[in-house]
A = this chain, B = another copy of it.
Amino acid sequence: MKKRGDYRQFAKIHRALANEARLMIVESLEKRERTVGELTKLIGLDQSTVSKHLSILLSAGIVDNRKQANNVYYRLLIPCVMDMFSCTMKVLEKRRSL
């Protein structure tokens, strides 16, 4: 990690994960792909809001999508994102132990 642009990209990816709703989305995509409608029901925010969250995850490169009939299915592109969560969890544990 050297160039200025890399930092920018890294920051963008972390920013994409810096929101409760998007974390819920990513976690729910761990097992299988889901439609926007399913995710909207799951998250409980306005459909347009969920759509915007998805476009943020998409442009960060964390998810991918495919269109089928009326639905757009989103899937997790980078499984190691879930591993990041285990580190995040360590931060929480450490903090609790202080």
**Other-chain residue from B7, B15, B27, B94 in contact with A24 (beta carbon distance below 8 A):** B7
* Interface residue A92 (Cβ < 8 Å from any Cβ of B): yes
User: Are the C-beta atoms of A87 and B90 separated by less than 8 Å?
Assistant: no
Q: Could you show 10 A-B contacts with beta carbons less than 8 Å apart?
A: A7-B20, A7-B23, A7-B24, A10-B85, A10-B92, A13-B88, A18-B18, A62-B91, A78-B91, A83-B87
Instruction: Provide the residues of chain B in CB contact with A94, threshold 8 Å.
Output: 61, 77-78
* Interface residue A31 (Cβ < 8 Å from any Cβ of B): no
User: CA separation between A10 and B62, bound complex, in Å?
Assistant: 16
* Interface residue A66 (Cβ < 8 Å from any Cβ of B): no
User: Are the C-beta atoms of B19 and A11 separated by less than 8 Å?
Assistant: yes
